[in-house]
Structures are given as C-alpha cells and as structure tokens.
Structure 1
Amino acid sequence: MKRTFRTFVGVAMAGTLAFSVAACGNDSAAEGGGEEQLTIGFVPGIASDPFFKAMQVGAEAKAQELGIRLLWQGAPDEYSPQSQLPFVDSMLTQQVDGLVLVPTDPDALQPSVTKAQSANIPVVTVDTTVTDQSYLTSAITGDNREGGRQAAQTLAEQIGESGEVFLMSGSPTATTNQLREEGFTEELKKYPGITLVGKEYANSQPAQATSAVNTILLKHPDLKGIFAVDGTSGSGTVAALRNAGKADEVKLIGYDAYDNQVADLKAGIYSALVAQKPGDQAALALQNLVDTIRNQNVDSIEKNVVMANVVMTNDNLAETEQFQYPTQ
C-alpha cells in the first residue's frame, strides 16, 4: 500500500488544536526512485499529557530512524471520545499510510478501526486498545494488571500490611486504568489487615482528584495509603495531601514517571512510582506499521505486546531514574 501524502489538513475545532508534523528522511517521489516515503498518523489520548509527550519523543526519534513522516494530532487537554474522534477522522480522511491510536474508549473508537479497515489502513493501538482487536496489526501496552499488583504489594509493605487505603483512578473508560484497578484490588485480597475504603475517578483532571482525596481524608482521617493510577490523578492527590498537611503521613503510590512525580518522589511525597516505557511503545508501533506496509519482517510482528514496568523508589533511584519520562 503506497500513497503519496503532501497536504496536511487541520481539524476544525472550537478549542486549541494540538498538531505536529515530523518530516523525516527524503521523499522518493521528489528524488525519482526508491520507496515512497510513508506517512504515519498518531493520535494520542491527550497531546499535552507528559506520558504522551514522552510517547511523542519516542515516536519522533523512531520516525527519523525509519525515514518516514509522522503526523501527530490529538486533543490538547480532554481525554474523551468526543474530543478524540475528530482527530482520528481527520487522519482517515487524509489517507495516511498507517495509524497509531490510543483509544480513549474501547467501544467508542471501534468504528474508527472499522473505517480504517475499509480504507485498507493498518492500525496499531498503544497504551489502551479497542474491544475487537482482530484487525489490529498490534496492540502494544504496559503490563497494567501487573502494575496494579506491584502498587498493592509495595503499599502493603510500606504500611505494615494493615490500615485503610484509597484508590484514586483516572478514566473509567480507559482499558489501562481498568486493568490497574483490577490488579490492585486482586492483590489487596492477600492482605486481610488492609481495607479499601473507596474509589473515585478524576477523569484525567487533577482538580477532580484533589477534591476526591480531600473528601476521603475528611471521612477517613486515619487513612494509611493511596494508589493513584495515573499521572494526572497523582498530581491532584499530591495537592490534596499537601493542603491537608498529610504528605508525611499517607503513603502514596503513583503510576508513571513525569518530571514532577520524580521530583515529588525524591521529596518523599510519593513513596513509589510504577513507571512505564511510553517511548518504547511508540517506537515499536511505528516499526510494526512500517514492516506491515512494506511487507517486511512480518513474521516477527507480535499481535499483543505487553511491556514490563519499573517500580521506582528512593532506594533504587540510582538504577531507575533513567525511566523518568523525557519531554523533548
């Protein structure tokens, strides 16, 4: 499947457009020989989120290596199908050669994958995925269920396997969040002295996490620990603990390794972080798409890829700080 792609059309939206084009390598049409330069579209969950910024860094580096054009578009600050779908539709309208997608909802984004299939555009999902993965070239993600288990194990150890804990989640539709919650709650069952007193969703808005944690601290003044399942939930939780003067009393396990999270880990506000490898996920997604389109190394493409996490603590930072998410 070879298409020459020359015009990039923005999405008409009421809000700000998060749009980036990385033109890498040479256009063979201009040189008069060789393979056409491929254009791969990449639609993240939230373009401004540090996790997806790190993913963009990895994608741009891989695009340069592969000599392809990377078209990066995403909603700037809202994690929802409503904000994401116009960007996906734009990619399909422009007939990109391949699409990398971070679905904000497994069902709501399924029709987009069906449209891509009708247009013969291969799709790889990263981080999250869709309900029916049969058409996907690959579904690439971190080990989210295991990450939830790791969070529970670490928290249990830090609070002496006894006390009340709270689960501060992100989006109820994100498959990653769902798996982290499941892993966390399953693992907690191994510790009869620990009571899970509640769960709330921040919907990827730190202020909502702050409000939820403020409320739980009032209801449960002896709370021993919190698991924040993503970076934005963690940021809001940190603010609540600081406001309540309980940053030294409540153990906080975070997910992801944003700059501010690692700084707060060093300051003792987080007691541990479960870090992913967003750049590696993005790079593998591009490699798999290029190999599929060019019909090369196809036997080595894995349909489902789960990448291991890294648990960061102050005790092991010398070895794990390298997993802090890059932003440029």
Structure 2
Amino acid sequence: MKRSTRVLAATAAAALALTGVAAAATPANAAKKIKIAFVMGAVNDPFFNAMKVGAVAEAKAQGVDLLWKGDAQYSAATQLPIVKNVIATLGKGDGLVLIPTDGAALQASNDAAAKKGIVVANVDTQVGNLSKVLIQITGNNEDGGAKAAAAIAKAVGYKAGSTYEVVIGLTSATATTNVARLEGFKAAVAKDYPGLVIKDTAYSESNSQKAATNVETWLTKYPNLKGIFAIDGTNASGAAAALQSKGLVGKIALVGYDAYPANVDLIK
C-alpha cells in the first residue's frame, strides 16, 4: 500500500471548512449561538472520524455548537433524511458542512439549506452545482488515481506487451472522490499501462468487512489476479485482511488510498 497523509489532511480540511462556515455564519438573533451541522458519510470510517477530531477542536476554538451527524451505512438513502432533519433544526445564519454520498441526490438538500440562509460547505465529495456552496475542499483525486496506476504497474513489474489482471474496490458509484480516482486510474492505464486489464469493480459502502468479501470473491474468480486498487481506506483495510487470510501478501500487489494508521502499519 502507498503511504499518504490523507487522514491528517482530513482533520485539517474539517477544521478549515468549519472555520470558513463559522466566519460567514451570522445568526438573525445576535444573542443566539451559531450552530454548525457536519453531516458525513459513514460513522465508523476512520477517515470521517479524523475529520471529527478537527471539527470538534475548531468548533471549540470558534465558540460554536457542533452537530455531528451520520449513519453507519454510506448511502444517499440514509443520508438524505439526516440532512433534512438537520436543515429543520438550523436557522438563518447557521452552518452546514456536508459530505454528499451522492452529489446528484443531495443537490436539492444542499440548495434548500442555502435558500434557508444556512451557510453551506462541501468537504471531500461535492454536489454537482456548487453555486450555493461557500467553500468546497477536496484533494486532486484524478492525480491520485493516476499515481495508483503507476504504483501498481511498478509493483507487478510491468512490461510492455504483457497483461496483468487488476481489480478495483470502491465505496460507492456516486461518491465524487471515488469517481474521480477511478477516472484518473483508467486514464493512466489507457495512456501508459495498457497491459493492466481491469477485470472488475465492486462497492463496499465504506464497510471494510464487505470490502474483504469482495476481494475474497475476486481471488476465486480471477486466479491470475496480479493487482488490487483499493480506492479508499476501508477498501484498503478489507483488501489487506483478505490477502492476509489467504496467505497472499506480497504475491498480489495492493495499492490503497488513505493513510489509516492500521494500513500504514502494514506498509513494508
């Protein structure tokens, strides 16, 4: 797996988003304390928990009330009612930091918050139309995907004219970060590593156990598998566990996005 600083960046990004929203938020009643809701993707994901560390610290520093909200499942179906309820509790001049699980599905809620006078930020993922969003914070996900392709090519000893079967584990087909990383990976493969053959993709809904099951299925289905691109931290954790259980560590290349502490410990 490839080392990165993304989890540390998540903490900083959450703090930066909260700072921006707090600075712009001005409640209609000057005596009223500002409330900022932070609606994230999946409550058990270490990436989002890293964000919580930054958000809690910055909320204390800014003197605002933080409402931390999310569900165990990474999906628009579970996130939408949470966002709806949050918007109902916030007033004009309060803030909403949103990590959309599906940019299209959350667009209307994002805009409804802004229409109510709530200051809106998007972090990590985003809605399609950012015109109602004060600030949007993410990384260069296309570049990250391209670097993952290069890392897998190096790990498998890529040679022009040879073919190498690879698979890709994602959290969601609608998370904009996942989509961008996948696009970056595919573009790099098409341009520089056409011998990397993408055999399959699967989704884990930010659940490492489901990610491990996906990899176990692939190991049976593709006996000539050479590489796995785990597009985020939970997929990397699940993929590592599956390879360990099958005694395949070092035999199948694994490139993982996000530097979860447990994943970093596995880098040799």
Interval containing the TM-score (normalised by the shorter chain): 0.7 to 0.9
Structure 1 residues 177 and 159, CA, compared in 2 at 3 Å: closer, same or farther?
A: same
Structure 1 residue runs of 4+, over 6 Å off?
none
Work out the CA distance in 1 between the residues paired with 2:133 and 2:205: 27
Cross-structure match for 2:16: none
Cross-structure match for 2:248: 246
Task: Point out where structure 2 has 5 or more consecutive residues left out of the alignment.
Answer: 1-25
Query: Residue 136 of structure 1 is aligned with which of 133, 137, 158?
Result: 133
Spell out, residue by residue over 1:69-105, the C-alpha distance to the aligned partner (whole angstroms, 9 max, x if none).
2221111x10111211222122211125011000111
Residue identity in the other structure for 1:128: T
Work out the CA distance in 1 between the residues paired with 2:196 and 2:112: 47
Query: Residue 122 of structure 1 is aligned with which of 119, 123, 148?
Result: 119
Please tell me whether the aligned partners of residues 164 and 194 of structure 1 are also in contact (alpha carbons under 8 angstroms): yes
Work out the CA distance in 1 between the residues paired with 2:205 and 2:86: 25
Summarize the alignment of residues 155-304 of structure 1 with structure 2, pairs less than 5 Å apart: 155-162=152-159, 163-189=164-190, 190-265=192-267, 268=268
Work out the CA distance in 2 between the residues paired with 1:213 and 1:61: 37
Cross-structure match for 2:77: 82
Work out the CA distance in 2 between the residues paired with 1:184 and 1:131: 21
Please tell me whether the aligned partners of residues 35 and 90 of structure 2 are also in contact (alpha carbons under 8 angstroms): no
Residue identity in the other structure for 2:211: A
Work out the CA distance in 1 between the residues paired with 2:84 and 2:216: 39
Percent pairwise identity? 43
Residue identity in the other structure for 1:48: N
Cross-structure match for 1:101: 98
Work out the CA distance in 1 between the residues paired with 2:187 and 2:225: 20
Deviates more, 1:55-64 or 1:211-220: 211-220
Deviates more, 1:83-92 or 1:148-157: 83-92
Work out the CA distance in 2 between the residues paired with 1:118 and 1:129: 18
Counterpart secondary structure, 1:108: helix
Give the superposition deviation at 1:3.
4.2
Give the superposition deviation at 1:196.
2.0
Cross-structure match for 2:19: none
Please tell me whether the aligned partners of residues 172 and 203 of structure 1 are also in contact (alpha carbons under 8 angstroms): no
Cross-structure match for 2:5: none
Cross-structure match for 1:2: 27
Work out the CA distance in 2 between the residues paired with 1:56 and 1:203: 19
TM-score by length of 1: 0.68
Residue identity in the other structure for 1:213: V
Counterpart secondary structure, 1:226: strand
Residue identity in the other structure for 1:157: K
Q: How many residues align?
A: 236
Spell out, residue by residue over 1:159-216, the C-alpha distance to the aligned partner (whole angstroms, 9 max, x if none).
2224222111221111110011111111112113322222222222223322221222
Cross-structure match for 1:64: 60
Residue identity in the other structure for 1:112: S
Residue identity in the other structure for 2:83: V
Residue identity in the other structure for 2:45: D
Counterpart secondary structure, 1:124: strand
Residue identity in the other structure for 1:85: L
Work out the CA distance in 2 between the residues paired with 1:219 and 1:108: 33
Counterpart secondary structure, 1:134: coil
Task: Point out where structure 1 has 5 or more consecutive residues left out of the alignment.
Answer: 5-27, 30-35, 269-328
Give the superposition deviation at 1:57.
0.7
TM-score by length of 2: 0.82
Give the superposition deviation at 1:53.
0.5
Higher radius of gyration, 1 or 2: 1
Cα-Cα RMSD: 1.7
Cross-structure match for 2:43: 47
Work out the CA distance in 2 between the residues paired with 1:152 and 1:225: 10
Query: Are residue 92 (structure 1) and residue 87 (structure 2) matched?
Result: yes
